[in-house]
Amino acid sequence: MLKITLKIVAFIFIWIIIAFFYQKNYDSLEKKYAVGCVVGKETGLRQGFYVNFNFEFQGEKLTNTSSQENYSVSEGEFYLVEIPVKKINKAKMLLDYPVPDTLKAPYEGWEEIPEFLKKREGN
C-alpha cells in the first residue's frame, strides 16, 4: 500500500513540475492577439471541457482547441485569441475577453491586448 501511495505522490509531483515548466516556456514566447470564433465544444478524455475555435492570423485561417475551464461559452461567440508567434499551434482562446463579432484584428494581430478590452480587467 505504501508503494502505491509513493508512486501516486511521485506521479503528481512530476506532473506539477512538467506543468510548471510548460507554463514558464509558454509565458516566455512572443505573442500576438487576434479574434476567434467558437465553433464547437467537446468533453476531454479524462475530465473537463474544451472549446474548438477558428481564427485568422497573417492571412491564414486556423483552428485550435482551448480548455474551457469554468467559462460558459456558446457556438458562434467571439473571444480574443493569444497566439505564440513561433508556435501558432499553441494558440489559446482567452474566454475572459469576449469581443463583438464586428471586431477584426489587423493582419499581423495586435502586439498586446487592445486598450478598449483591457478596461474589462478586474470586472
DSSP 1-31: -HHHHHHHHHHHHHHHHHHHHHHHHHHHS-E
Half-sphere exposure of 100 (CA within 13 A, CB side): 3
For residues 113-118, give the mean pLDDT: 83
Angle at 56 (CA atoms; ends 73, 87), nearest 5 degrees: 95
pLDDT at 66 over 70: yes
Residues 6+ apart with CB under 8 A from 76: 37, 38
For residues 30-54, give the mean pLDDT: 86
pLDDT in tens, 2-39: 788 877 777 787 777 776 666 666 565 788 999 999 99
Residue 121 — very low, low, confident or very high, per pLDDT cuts 50/70/90?
Answer: very low
H-only helix segments in the chain: 2-28, 115-118
The C-alpha atoms of residue 54 and residue 38 are separated, in whole angstroms, by: 7
